[in-house]
Structure 1
């Protein structure tokens, strides 16, 4: 991860087209490292995700301490130019 960029964490599963699209968008915006938590391989982590986010679906994306949400939320944030600001933290 380059200096000056926020840590990105993504709850995901092995086969999730929205997870792939989210990763592609983040990488296009310069994110080099994404910490992925595979909730399909670690069911306890799904429970953790649901408790933290109030959502059942993947991906669930955090940039720094900010819960962005899923892919649609990430794409909306990018369109509104908020993603670049979050990543610059």
Structure 2
């Protein structure tokens, strides 16, 4: 499976939705807890080119965006090809 990282914070409905889709797909991913003010959140902001919201999702090291971006890829049938190694 492709390496997937997702920066989240507790209680975030968009994070829950994105994690739910990845779980439904049956792919392994690393969820990184990144509440505001933490080094993990700063890392997410840096890696995403300045985006300050969560979730921020990376597949094979490439930034694909947040929850809406993930759902758009899924709707367009473009997510599954990204999930193969």
Equivalent residue for 1:51, pick from 46, 52, 58: 46
Q: Which shifted more, 68-77 or 44-53?
A: 44-53
For the residues of structure 1 that align with 2:51 and 2:8, how far apart are their CA atoms? 12
Number of the residue aligned with 1:71:
67
Q: What 5-or-longer segments of structure 1 have no aligned partner? A: none
Give runs of aligned pairs for residues 6-85 of structure 1, distance below 5 A. 6-31=2-27, 33-40=28-35, 43-53=38-48, 54-85=50-81
- Long gaps (5+) in structure 2: none
Aligned residue pairs total 84
The DSSP-based 3-state class of the residue aligned with 2:17 is helix
> Secondary structure of the residue that 1:56 maps to in structure 2?
coil
Structure 1's consecutive aligned runs of 4 or more residues displaced over 6 angstroms after TM superposition are none
TM-score of the pair, normalised by structure 2: 0.89
Cα distance between partner residues in 2 of 1:83 and 1:66: 13
Q: CA deviation at 1:19?
A: 0.7
CA-based RMSD: 1.5
Q: TM-score when scaled to structure 1?
A: 0.86
